Amino acid sequence: MAAIRPSGIYDVSYEQDMALVRTPALKVAAVAGTVIFFALPLFSRDSPLGLEIVPLPWLGTLNRIGITLISVQGLNILLGYTGQISLGQAAFMAVGAYTSSILTTHFGIPFWFALPMAALTAGAVGLIFGLPSLRIKGFYLAMATLAAQFIIPWTLKNPLARWTGGASGMEVPLPTMGNWVFNSDQSMFYVIMILLAVMMLAAKNITRTRVGRALIAVRDNDLAAEVLGINLFTYKLRAFFLCAVYAGVAGSLSAHYTRSISPDGFDLLDSIWQLGMLIVGGAGYAMGPVFGTALVRLLREFATLITPAMRDLLPGTLPFVDVASVDRALGPVFFAVVLMLFLVFEPRGLAYRWEILKAAWRLRPFAH
Amino acid sequence: MADVVLFGKPLFLAVQWLITGLLVGSIYSLVALGLVLIYKASSVFNFAHGWLMLVGGLLCWAFFQDQGWPLWVSILAAFAVMAILGLLIERVTLRPLIGQPVLTTIMMTLALAQLIQGIVMLVWGANPHPLPIFADQAGLPMPPLKLPTAALLGGDIIMKVQLLCSFVVTALGFGALTLFFRFTRTGLSMRAAAEDHQLAQSVGLPVRRIFGLAWAIAAVFAAAAGILQGAGTGLDPIAVPTMALRAFPAVLLGGLESITGAIVGGLAIGVVETMTSGYISTSAGQELAPFLVLMLVLIIKPDGLFGQKRIERI
């Protein structure tokens, strides 16, 4: 979708054309939005300001959305920009989570060093499982990532059980900086959101570089890309590496945020949910993962919210429903229905609709 | 021969595991048959097949245990409901996606899997349901069949009745499908549609109806596999679909479009799983071995043993 500028705004240099924020109004909005967003924890409980406007559960939800968003951004690079299907994203998150946990627990390395090392380890594992892309593509490559989704947790549970604690998982220490321990939602908010901002800017920037354009060429028509001189194999490997790095960062953050991990917390279901978030949000758009992750997480919270009401309501209207499992069943049902509706009616996702909306607003009153 | 030792375990155990592997593999073959049927007809890989198995088994449980109907009536009723369900799924979820890229159909079947999981939990709860088909009035399971090979191999070969039954059912299903595809009009038109949709339509074959029929037959096969699996180990909402996921390597090993390949692949994966469970550990056999086989197949021969070779330049 070509970006339509408001009248009076024109680009006289390449940097202006590539800039993320182009108009003065957008610049003001971006700065104001960032300030307000990063000030949110200060208006919550236990803050130095003493006010309590933002409820603490909201910060927890935002933290969880942030962590998943990092992983889905990585998936966007692999699926949205390079067009390769990956069913193993949760397994790469597990690699990052366990590497970070083992480094901080068994070797005493601070969290701030363990995080990049976890990301690189996850990237290396992603690279290994991307090697079949030399010979196979499309559906078969997706099956290779499905195999990764099972082989990696087994490897974490059994041969490496001495370090990982096996199937029962392990406890993870909190990040510390000098004397300050990040043991609350408010403090982790800053860690997660700053990392999220950095990773999102990096993902957006990748699309503006040569590598990003090559990845998009691989997605759009790989035969033509090969003819143009783009080495498909190395660029697909790069995409796998980047995707797994993002998953590693998300996994490491997740481990230190939830304080305990187990191999069963990173199973095929999580990979499917992340894929669903990406599709619903819009694969191939920079804001796609944001919309998708926010929508799906909010759906999950909504399902948890209406569970007590459903428990009372359902036996009356639908007597064959088993009341005890309503809380575990509503979430998947909502997610599945929303995903199916999007696949049938808007497979390009919410970000596409958002672009259409922005273009319609800028072009009014003209139709096109 | 009774004292030959193979890789640290006596020969008798190796033969026992081989036989059990072939029997367990027959259920994988049944699952793989359904998957191959759907892929052959409509080029869609049905990730939700394990959950269809679960629904089929639970329907049989509902009719047999809950309502108390006779066994054969419940099985046939479950088959009928599953056939209708297969038709419905094809019509509602996959018909609108004709012509879309492969990612969309994969995501649709994954979403379908989640939806069925949620509905199954809502209706039948999260607890396992036993399906005592091979049990007598008191609920005691049938004693396993024993081959008197003690003199030759050092022990009797034990075969569980439900596994033997699943082997027989799979063989019958394979025979029926082969006859169906070779000698009946509908079967031949399905094979034609599987080759080339547009060509089949131009000759006048009702391709969309063929899709629905393929899904209905595959759903019935899934129900049969679910009932047999439930008779063996109970209907657990988590364990049954996970077991079907292990049949995916079987499909790829045999070739995505080959019925013979589904049988061979399923038996091979069953043998690999049981042998690995015996020689290394159960978790290695169940979680690792089939997917290592999958990786090997994808790296060495992605089209499978019996699949059609695809020529791709890059």
Q: Which helix (H) or strand (E) holds A180?
A: strand A180-181
Minimal C-alpha gap between B36 and chain A (Å): 15
Cβ proximity of A255 and A101 under 8 Å: yes
Domains and CATH numbers, chain A: 50-299+308-363 (1.10.3470)
Asked if B115 lies within 8 A of A336 by C-beta distance, the reply is: yes
Residue B160 lies in a domain: yes
| Cβ count near A281 (within 10 Å) | 28
pLDDT of residue A8: 76
Single-letter amino acid code for the residue at A79: L
Instruction: Tell me the three-class secondary structure of A211-267, residue by residue.
Output: HHHHHHHHHHCHHHHHHHCCCHHHHHHHHHHHHHHHHHHHHHHHHHHHCEECHHHCC
Residue B230 lies in a domain: yes
**Which residues, including other chains, have CB under 8 Å from residue A250's CB and lie 6 or more apart?**
A67, A68, A70, A71, A74, A93, A96
Positions of chain B with pLDDT under 50: none
Minimal C-alpha gap between A325 and chain B (Å): 6
Chain A CB contacts of B302 below 8 Å: 135-136, 140
Q: Which residue of B has its CA nearest to A223?
A: B314
pLDDT in tens, B155-214: 777 888 888 888 999 999 999 998 998 899 988 888 888 888 888 889 999 888 899 999
- b or e along A168-197 (b: 16 or more beta carbons within 10 Å of the residue's beta carbon)? ebbebeebeeeeeebeebbbbbebbbebbe
Phi, psi at B252, each rounded to 5°: -70, -30
pLDDT of residue B197: 82
Strands A180-181 and B5-6: unpaired
Residue B307 lies in a domain: no
Residue B311 lies in a domain: no
- Token digits for B33? 């048959």
Asked if A147 lies within 8 A of B292 by C-beta distance, the reply is: yes
Phi, psi at B28, each rounded to 5°: -60, -40
Minimal C-alpha gap between B294 and chain A (Å): 7
Strands A180-181 and A176-177: antiparallel
- Its domain, for residue B77, covers 5-300
Number of domains in chain B: 1
Q: Is B141 exposed, middle or buried (0-12, 13-18, 19+ CB in 10 A)?
A: middle
Q: How far apart are CA A208 and CA A14, in angstroms?
A: 11
Nearest to B111 among A226, A269, A276 (CB): A276
pLDDT of residue A171: 84
pLDDT of residue B153: 67
B67 vs A: CB within 8 A: no
CATH classification at residue B263: 1.10.3470
pLDDT of residue A1: 46
Chain A CB contacts of B96 below 8 Å: 344
Chain B CB contacts of A336 below 8 Å: 111-115, 118
For residue A55, whether the previous peptide bond is cis, meaning omega lies within 30 degrees of 0, is no
Cβ proximity of A70 and A246 under 8 Å: yes
Residue reference for tokens 């919309």: A291
Positions of chain A with pLDDT under 70: 1-4, 316-317, 319
Reduced to 3 states (helix: H, G, I; strand: E, B; else coil), residue A109 is: coil
Q: How far apart are CA B227 and CA B241, in angstroms?
A: 13
Cβ proximity of B64 and B238 under 8 Å: no
